[in-house]
Amino acid sequence: MDRDKMVGIIDFVSEYDFRDGLKGRFSPDGCQALYDYLWEYSVEISEPIEFDPVAIRVEYTEYKSAAEALEDYDPDLVKEYREEYEDDVNFEQACYEELEDNTKVIVFDGGVIIQNY
């Protein structure tokens, strides 16, 4: 057997199974956004993506805002942005752009999901 080939059993999961496998870690809207992103990514790369709930929980984290996500990675930069941007819209946009420069950011109604970096 060629060791470079992946072998095993592949199971296609429905949106329901995907959400059920990640409940408790992601909100329903967050699960849907992540499912849509991974589905589109799979189509883009023309390869299936293995559904591994543990790996997904480790690789992605949901936050209520980009500022909250950036706070986990660089609280000093968040403080700097807060002082620089007086209004919440520009502050949140600056935090989003900083995250986007470093990782994948999935925006949905109710928050953001980032690929941990």
1 inside domain: no
**What is the structure's pLDDT at 9?**
64
Q: Is 107 among the domain residues?
A: yes
Residue 2 forms part of a structural domain: no
Distance, in Å, from the CA atom of 105 to the CA atom of 117, rounded to the nearest integer, reads 11
By residue range, what is the domain housing residue 52?
Answer: 15-115
Decide if 40 is inside a domain.
yes
- Strand order through the sheet with 60-63: 60-63, 111-115, 105-108
More confident residue, 9 or 115: 115
Domains contained in the chain, number: 1
Contact 13, 51 (CB under 8 A): yes
Query: Could you tell me if residue 68 is inside a domain?
Result: yes
Residue 111 lies in a domain: yes
pLDDT class of 59 with cuts at 50, 70, 90:
very high
Give the pTM. 0.85
Task: Give domain status of residue 50, yes or no.
Answer: yes
pLDDT digits (tens, 9 = 90+) for 34-45: 999 999 999 999
